[in-house]
Amino acid sequence: MPAGLLVCFFMDQRIFITGIWHETNTFAAPRTDLAAFEAYQYAEGEALFERFAGTNTEVGGALSVAADLDLRLLPGLFAGAVPSGLVTRAAYDALLWRSLGRLAEAGPVDGALVHLHGACVAEGHDQADADFLAAIRDGLPAGAPLVATFDLHANLSPELIAAADLLVGYDTYPHHDMGARGAEAAALLHRLLSEGRRPAKAFRKLPFAPSPQMQVTDDPPVVEIMARLRAMEARDDVWTASIAWGFPYADVGHLGVGVLVQADEQVEADGLADQLADEIWSRRAAFQAPLLPVGEAVRQAMAAPAGPVMLADVADNAGGGAPGDGTVILAELLAQSARDAVVVLWDPAAIAAAREAGLGGRFDAPVGGKADDLHGEAVDLAGEVVFLEDVSYRRGGNYMTGQRVDLGAVAVIAATGVTVMLTSEKALPFDVDHLRAAGIQPEGQRIIVVKSAIAWRAHFRPFAQDEIYVDTPGVCASNLGRFDYSRLAGPIYPLDPAAEYLKG
């Protein structure tokens, strides 16, 4: 055997890799059970590597560099569910026990990588991520380093930070650096192992909950702040630094923006973290989301010289835990007799009514507003059934590309002036293909309603003539004043404009 291979063999470090990923909207009624994880993203044991190798995910990123770093990854699991309500106790316990079981099976390990969201709330565990991380840590040999990753929307806490030796957060929203952060986490774990020391951590928590609509990392005000973060990370003495902008739809004590700097010396880490925290705090007023009341939004869209004009129903963001059946904009479009407008609603019951009417038949039934009483009332809709098929397609474009999207049974109702597309599975409008797949040409519309905060932009902006964010009710409303928070640790901006940031 060549000497090099022999050295490699002995230098291999055994690294346990596992993770849970859920952005929990505590205002959303449906609970998130184990089936929700298994239906979206679930792989365990060797299947973990088969599923994520070559993907732009944390596990995929870690896998892509592991061999070069002489890290031998030992599979736990990865479980991710679409943002939704509280994770059930049974689901959380099962995921933790399965992970710990895999860790025990893995035999002796030298370290661990744990991929988290950071805004997971389970029944009985407000800080599910921190609890999960601490449990994995307890299962590791004393002194074995643990590196964790988290989403840009994490609600970081001192407990989460303390449970890992080092943490790496996404730097982009929309998120496209999961693979890069997974690779970075693996490289930093390798550095912890080879240098045998730990960086100093400086964590700052701001009493500030900006709406996700204003957290886009390529747009002001965040783009300038992320540039400062990158400049800090370029310093030799900084290991890594992150800003978690928070997920505001969680009524928990640790809600808010977190800043984390990890550097050689505590005094330097503290100074840099204070700089970032001070800058974010001083700019907090710039995070006010532009929102129009629904009547004004529809009037402006109808008066636009050219279409399509996008009406963003952020509050009913199907990708953030909302049902996607909100009717407030549809009702206003009908009331104002809008023309060439299209609305997509998740509504299995209305599809049954469309089936009864049949293709080409007369539809006359209530649509939307059925999942809960937070997203408007059901709207009586009359029109012709112009499309009635099961729809499944592969996502094009450059975001979540190639993902198979299953809309289930789809019915399209042509009402006077407004086309309503009904789906039996929720449509996450990250693309225009979901409209085309049901025979609707997006370019030909005057008004398109999207149930999304910002994910729609990559696909619709190339041809949309204008965009209006509508102040609608719902569990993802940008207007946080619509929510009754009861468990916050103290005053938080912008809910309380007089909230103060007390350093330290």
Interface residue list for Zn ion (CB under 5 A) = 151, 153
Question: Least separation, in Å, of the C-beta of 117 and Zn ion?
Answer: 7
- Our CB check for Zn ion shows the closer of 153 and 451 to be 153
- Our CB check for Zn ion shows the closer of 58 and 151 to be 151
- Our CB check for Zn ion shows the closer of 217 and 419 to be 217
Cα maximum dimension of the chain: 79
- Our CB check for Zn ion shows the closer of 28 and 331 to be 28
- Our CB check for Zn ion shows the closer of 421 and 454 to be 454
- Our CB check for Zn ion shows the closer of 250 and 309 to be 250
CB 118 within 8 A of CB 150: yes
Per DSSP (E only), the strands in 245-361 are: 258-263, 309-312, 341-346
For residue 314, which of 289, 334, 296 has the smallest C-alpha distance? 289
- Our CB check for Zn ion shows the closer of 129 and 151 to be 151
Three-state DSSP class for residue 330: helix
CB 425 within 8 A of CB 409: no
- Our CB check for Zn ion shows the closer of 56 and 336 to be 56
Question: Least separation, in Å, of the C-beta of 322 and Zn ion?
Answer: 15
Question: Least separation, in Å, of the C-beta of 315 and Zn ion?
Answer: 17
In this structure, the number of other CB atoms found within 10 A of the CB of residue 233 comes to: 18
**Residue keyed to tokens 């999961």:** 178
φ, ψ dihedrals at 339, nearest 5°: -120, 150
CB 392 within 8 A of CB 406: yes
Q: What token pair was written down for 70?
A: 């002489």
Residues in the chain: 504
Three-state DSSP class for residue 62: helix
Question: Least separation, in Å, of the C-beta of 152 and Zn ion?
Answer: 5
- What is the helix (H) or strand (E) element at residue 138, kind and residue range? helix 128-138
- What is the helix (H) or strand (E) element at residue 50, kind and residue range? helix 47-52
C-alpha span between 312 and 329 (Å, rounded): 9
In this structure, the number of other CB atoms found within 10 A of the CB of residue 378 comes to: 18
Question: Least separation, in Å, of the C-beta of 177 and Zn ion?
Answer: 11
Question: Least separation, in Å, of the C-beta of 230 and Zn ion?
Answer: 19
Question: Least separation, in Å, of the C-beta of 213 and Zn ion?
Answer: 13
- Our CB check for Zn ion shows the closer of 312 and 455 to be 455
**Residue keyed to tokens 């800080």:** 127
Question: Least separation, in Å, of the C-beta of 25 and Zn ion?
Answer: 12
Question: Least separation, in Å, of the C-beta of 309 and Zn ion?
Answer: 27
Three-state DSSP class for residue 102: helix
- Our CB check for Zn ion shows the closer of 216 and 331 to be 216
- What CA–CA distances, in Å, run from 156 to 258, 259, 343, 500? 6, 8, 36, 19
Identity (one letter) of the amino acid at 18?
T
Identity (one letter) of the amino acid at 444?
G
Question: Least separation, in Å, of the C-beta of 119 and Zn ion?
Answer: 8
C-alpha span between 2 and 5 (Å, rounded): 6
Cβ-closest residue to Zn ion?
153
What does DSSP say about strands 111-116 and 146-150: parallel, antiparallel, or unpaired?
parallel
Question: Least separation, in Å, of the C-beta of 154 and Zn ion?
Answer: 8
- Our CB check for Zn ion shows the closer of 244 and 427 to be 244
Those residues with Cβ within 8 angstroms of residue 239's Cβ, 6 or more apart along the chain or in another chain: 166, 188, 191, 199, 262, 263, 264
